[in-house]
Each structure stands twice: as structure tokens, then as C-alpha cells.
Amino acid sequence: MVYKANIRPAWVVLVLLMLFTLAFTLVKTSDTSPVTKKIQPEQEKPLKIDLSKFKNAAENETCLKCHGQSKYTYENPESKKTVTKRMYSELVMNRDVFYVSNHREFKCTDCHSEDYAVFPHAGNLRMEAKANCIDCHGGDEKYAKFKFEKIETEFQASVHSEKHSEDFTCWMCHNAHTYKINARTNENLKETIIYDNLICLNCHGDIKNYQLLTAKTKPNILQKHEWLPNQASHFTNVRCIECHAKNEDTLVVAHHVVTKNQAVRKCESCHSKNSILYASLYKYQVSEKIQKVGFIKGILMGESTSIGPDKSNILNTISLVVFCLTILVIMIHAFFRIKK
Amino acid sequence: MNHQTERLYLYPVWIRIWHMTNALFCLILIITGLSIQFSNPGTVVKFNAAVSVHNIAGIILTISYAAFFLGNLFTANGIFYVITVKGFLLRIKKQFYYYTIGIFRREEPPFPVNDEYKFNPLQQVTYVILMYVFVPFVVLTGWGLLYPEIIINSFWGFSGLDLADLMHITAGFAISIIMCVHIYFCTIGKNPTSNFKSMINGYHESH
């Protein structure tokens, strides 16, 4: 009489499946993406900035006492009344954002005219030209590694520059008051991706900004990308510029944005051994070891950039060896069976 | 008619239909899966085509697996997958001895097929692992990859999507290897083709 554990494996699997579903539902409901919380650096909760740490902060306050908030107050010299007015939103500088930005040590008049010291500001000051990145950063050894000249050349060749000529400046995407280096320093790849994509969406997803340069009605990005499978995943895991700009692996952030007809449309451009994603950001992240890849993860995932393609050489080698051994054993076995 | 040496009706129609569907779509999935995994511009199967075929085949395999699963929950066929614990290792050893040595000495198989034991012990344990571990794994992770938004974002520092991908290709690889061995072992029958015929006409021919 043999003892039978009289349980069909299918029942065991069924129970495990139900437990898995339950656990999955519980984890999923408590699973909030860390990315969504931090995606908009310019809208972060106010930091307690200690202004005394910044050598120009006191001087800057003469500007920021009006431009640091949504309203400003002055005395009308004729009526002698105190007047409170609203500050136009694009003229408001958020101290919390400015003092963590790359240009935090600057004083306002480093870039803006000294004549702004007079209130009301003279009308012609509005015509003041805004400095572009290359104006300060060009030809400077200290900034050589950021390749501003290369960025400028790429940008000049881009569809942005060609279509809009002088109207399209660095400022369209980068505000010098808030700009903070990101792609080169952020350990969280996903944050960098979303940060970069928000720059594009600032115009391509917002009709107010989009129509500053064109009379075209709002492009529907979701509709235009309907052909893209798993759209949401692609939008949050891939930068727009990976497909819409010519990537050169010497630049972390490509600036040579191309027309939509030249954009990458083939799946295997990324999902392949020679993925274009291996250039630019991902290459930089791996080579500079910015992303902390654990030992096990390194072995399992290799230099993983996209789902699908051949990525981990160690696993590939192991599977090839296992496969060859299996075939070899089968052949030997078959040989001796036939020989008998 | 002595059913020990003659023909034994072992494989009812539903099992044969399931087996054929399973075999066909596993093959399609392996070919398209490899093509996706090692994709490069210029591969034999076009990437987009490979992905579409892989997705559709995956859905059909899920349905086919569900049929197998329900069939083995509620029909007598499920009993063949119940592993008897007592003497398990000894029986495995016996079968292993037969496959590695006994078979070349023209010994009789230690566990001949009969209507109570369709599978020998090694077969049984392999099929249980295959059908109740690897296939559910590959199906679940496959659906996860088809609808990535349902996957957990991160799990112990791994991206949920990468992890699902890794489990999917690992389980897929294991299934491929088992399939190779399975096809070869099918040539061990009354004659090399008799087991293949069994899966068409339903009758097992004994040694």
C-alpha cells in the first residue's frame, strides 16, 4: 500500500495563484511611484533657504522684494497712496528654486542691466537682450567637459533653430534662473528621463507656450504616438530626444532635434543588440557609474537599457552552454542506442 | 487482447488536441521569442512581426494552458500528475539507471506504461515542474510584459519590468530545453516513431 499525497498539483498552483493575486493586489495598491512625486523640480515644496549663505543674496533682495512673490507694493508719488499690484507670473523668481539652481551665486545685475535699480523701470529695458548659454560658457576651459560649443552647433542644426531662427533661444527650454544640472548628476535614471521629457512637453504639451512660436493648433502628442505600443511605459522610460534627436555619444543630452519624418520609428532601433540607447545618457550613466548597479543586478541585467534585446552576456553564455550540453548528451545517447 | 503488450487507449481526444496546440504554439513562441531576444536589424523574422506573432501565440497558449489546467483539476487525467511521496527517490533512481545504463543493455523499462501510470517517475516529476512551475511563470510574466502598467514598479531595487523580463526569458529557456529532451525521449518507444503516432491516434503501443 503506497501512501499518496492525494493532491493534484493543479490545486496547489491554483491556491498559490490566488495567494499571489492577493499579495500582488496589496503591494500594487501601496505601490506609489517615487518618480511622480519629484518630477517637477520647479514646483517643489518651498525649501528653507538660508539666504545668508549666498554672497549676493542681500543685494538680490532689492529685486526679489518685488520679483520674489506674486505681488509687489510701491508708493504712488502723486497720490501718496500705497499701491499693491500683481506681479506677472513670468517675472516672479522663486527664491527657493533660484538658490538651488546652478546660477545661485549670481547677482541679478550680472546678467541684467544696472538700470533696473531705478523704479519704475525704464521702458527701454524691456528690449534688453537675454544672454544665451554660449555667451558665458563658450570657450571656457572650466566648462569644456559640458561641450557647450558642440551643443550650440547641434542646436543650430536642429529643427528648432532652423524653423524658428532667432526666435528660438536656449531660454525656450532652459531658464537660467531655475536651471539645475540633472542628467550628469542624478542617480535616478527615471527622474532624469522625466525631467528631460517635461522640457519638451512644456511647449509640445502646452498650447500657451507652443503658440509663442507657431500659429499651429495644439499637436496631440498622444494621438501622434498611437502607433507606439505600451505608450505610457515608453513615455516614462525613454526620453523624447532618443527618437527625436540625432544622438551622439559624446553628448549626454542631444540637442540636434530633427523633424518628425526623421524620428526613429523602428522598434529594433532600440530593442536590439546595437540599441541606439547605448549611446548618450545610458552609456554615460554606465561608464561614469552614476547608476548604482548592484553585483547581482549587474550579472543578471548587464547593461540593460530596454526590454527584450540580448543584454546580459553572462546569462547568454550560460544558456548557450546549457543548450549545447543538452544537445550533446542527446546525441551521445542516441548514438549508443543506434549502435546497440 | 492483452493490454500489457498491445495497444492501450491512453490519450483521449481533448488531451491530444491540447497537446498539439501546446506543441505548435510553444514552437512558435520559442522561434519568435528568440528572434525578439536577439533582434537586430536584418534578422530573419521582422521585429514587429515577431512581436505580434509572439503576443497572439502567447494568448492562445494561455487559453490552451487554462484548458489543460481545468482538465487536470476535474478529469481523471489529473491523477497522473499526483506524485507519490513514498519511495519517490528510489523510483527516480531506477528510472535514471534505466535511461543511462539499462536501456543500452536492452533491459525492460522499470515502469512500463499502464492505465494507472501513464508517466514514468522522471517523466512525472519533469511534467509537474514544467506544467505547474515554468509554464505558469512564463504565462504570468508574459501577460505582465504585454500590459506593463500592471507590473510593480520596483522590487528589492530591481525594476519590476526588468525582473518580469528576466523571469520570462529564463522560464522560456527552461521550457525550450525540456522540449528538446522531451522530443528526443519520445523516440524511446516500441519503435522511434510509435510515441509520435500515439499522440495522433491516442493508442499507446507497449514494448
**CATH classification at residue B176:** 1.20.950.20
Q: How far apart are CA A214 and CA A203, in angstroms?
A: 11
User: What's the pLDDT at A299?
Assistant: 53
A178-204 mean pLDDT: 84
pLDDT given for residue A44 in this prediction: 46
A8 to B79: CB separation less than 8 angstroms, yes or no: yes
CA A221 to the chain's CA centroid: 17
Average pLDDT over residues A263-292: 70
A9 closest CA partner among B204, B101, B80: B80
What does the pLDDT read at residue B43?
A: 63
Structural domains of chain B, count: 1
DSSP string covering B101-136, please? TGGGGTPPPSS---SS-SS-HHHHHHHHHIIIIIHH
| Predicted local distance difference test score (pLDDT) of residue B31 | 92
Which of A41-45, A208-212, B17-21, B37-41 has the highest mean predicted lDDT (pLDDT)? B17-21
CB contact, 8 Å: A208 with chain B?
A: no
For residues A47 and B75, the model is more confident at B75
Confidence (pLDDT) at B175: 96
Domain extent at residue B75: 7-82+124-205
Instruction: Report the share of chain B in percent with pLDDT over 90.
Output: 46
* Amino acid sitting at position A211: Q
Q: pLDDT at residue B138 above 50? A: yes
Residue B20 lies in a domain: yes
Is pLDDT at A19 greater than 50 in this prediction? yes
pLDDT tier at B94, thresholds 50, 70, 90: very high
Instruction: Please state, in angstroms and rounded to a whole number, the distance separating the CA atoms of residues A204 and A19.
Output: 44
Distance from CA of A40 to the nearest CA of B (A): 19
Tell me the residues of chain A between 237 and 266 that have a Cβ less than 8 Å away from chain B: 266
Task: Give the pLDDT confidence score for residue A333 in this predicted structure.
Answer: 93
The domain spans of chain A are 38-120, 130-290
Cβ-proximal residues to A318 (8 Å cutoff; 6+ apart), any chain: none
- Chain A residues lying within 8 Å of B97, measured CB to CB: none
Quick one: which of A49, A157, A25, A147 has its CA closest to A101? Answer: A49
Residue B192 has a pLDDT of: 86
**For the segment A228-244, what is each residue's pLDDT rounded down to a tens digit?**
888 888 888 888 988 89
Cβ-defined contact of A301 to B162 (cutoff 8 Å): yes
Pick the residue with more confidence: A67 or A1?
A: A67
Q: Judge whether B92 lies within some domain.
A: no
For residue B35, the SS3 value is helix
**What percent of chain B is predicted at pLDDT more than 70?**
91
Q: Is the pLDDT of residue B102 over 80?
A: yes
Residue B36 lies in a domain: yes
Contacts of A150 (CB under 8 A, 6+ apart): A248, A250, A251
Answer yes or no: is B195 within a domain.
Answer: yes
Angle, to 10 degrees, between the axis of helix B160-185 and the axis of helix B13-37? 130
Q: Residues B38-61: what's their mean pLDDT?
A: 83
CA A46 to chain centre: 22
Helix axes B47-74, A9-30, angle to 10 degrees: 130
Which pLDDT tens digit goes with each residue over A289-332? 545 555 555 555 555 555 555 556 678 888 899 999 999 999 99
In a domain, B135, yes or no: yes
Please report residues of A whose CB lies closer than 8 A to that of B99: 333
- Residue A42: band (very low, low, confident or very high) from pLDDT cuts 50, 70, 90: very low
Q: pLDDT-derived band of residue A31, with 50, 70 and 90 as boundaries?
A: low
User: Which residues neighbour A76 within 8 Å (Cβ) at sequence distance 6 or greater?
Assistant: A82, A83
B136 domain residue, yes or no: yes
Nearest to A296 by CA among B99, B22, B163, B168: B163
Of B73, B150, B153, the CB nearest to A11: B73
Phi (first) and psi of residue A83, to 5 degrees: -115, 135
- What mean pLDDT value characterizes chain A? 80
**Quick one: pLDDT at residue B87?**
87
Asked whether residue B88 is domain-assigned, the answer is no
| Chain A residues 295-334 with CB within 8 Å of chain B | 297, 300-301, 304, 307-310, 315, 319, 322-323, 326-327, 330, 333-334
Set of chain A residues whose Cβ sits within 8 Å of the Cβ of B131: 9
Residues of chain B with C-beta less than 8 angstroms from the C-beta of A229: 51
